[in-house]
Structure formats: structure tokens, C-alpha cells
Amino acid sequence: MKHMRIYIDTSVFGGCFDEEFKKPSKALFRAIKANRATPLISDILIAELARAPQVVQDLLSATLKWGNAERLEVTKEALALQQAYINAGIVVPKYADDALHVAHATIARADVIVSWNFRHLVNPA
């Protein structure tokens, strides 16, 4: 199986502590810890998780310490792509952070975006 570069959305970290999403979320983090996948961790994800419960922040810290994470900084290119998604009506301005997540994943050439955000990120409608 191909070593995947996975953009992880904020909801997946919290999913490890939610009964509905716990099993698949923890399986993903086990794969990352075993270096079977590379997590793409953006500055916007880190900022969002700074407001999360401590247990979620601890998972982020652990993930970063495993040493295989790729950090994605906010760049002019990411902000321009975020705005293009908003201007095209793909994401409404109220959810601009979601557009920035997708912009980061696109620019980093992620193999997949993993999210439990069914309203804005993984909704094909």
C-alpha cells in the first residue's frame, strides 16, 4: 500500500474522544505513529486545537513528537487559494477556515483530506 500523505482536519483529533468516531480516528493515529502515513499539520489546525480540550491538545503534541508530521504554514499562496474557493462559492465566507484547510491540502498535494466535518469539508453536495 502506498505511503499516504494525509491532511488531518481538526475534527479527527476530537474524534478520538467521541464514541461515534473513536474507532476510525484512533486507527488513523496508530498508522501515523507506526509511520505508515504522513500527517500534514497546518497552522490553522494548530490554532483551532489551541481552543480544544487538553486531551485533544495532548494528542496534537504527541503527533508532532512522533517526528513524521509535515508542518504547513500559512502562505500567500494558501490565502489566495482560500479566497478563490470563497469567491467561487465553494465555501461561504462564514467557513473561511474550512477553505483554508482545503487550500493547505491542495498546495501540499495531500493524497486525502480526513475529516468528520460532513457539512463543509466532506459533503459532495
96-107 and 76-87 helices cross at what angle (nearest 10)? 120
By C-alpha distance, which of 98, 94, 101, 93 is closest to 120? Answer: 98
pLDDT tens digits, one per residue of 66-75: 989 999 999 9
Q: What is the mean pLDDT of the segment spanning 3-15? A: 94
Q: Is the pLDDT of residue 120 over 60?
A: no
Third-level CATH fold of 4-114: Rossmann fold (3.40.50)
Query: What pTM did the predictor assign?
Result: 0.89
As a whole number of angstroms, the distance between CA 119 and CA 112 comes to 17
Other beta carbons within 10 angstroms of residue 75's beta carbon come to 13
The residue assigned the cell 491538545 is: 57
What is the three-class DSSP state of 39? strand
22-33 and 54-65 helices cross at what angle (nearest 10)? 30
pLDDT of residue 3: 87
pLDDT tens digits, one per residue of 27-74: 999 999 999 999 999 999 999 999 999 999 999 999 999 989 999 999
pLDDT band, residue 93 (cuts 50/70/90): very high
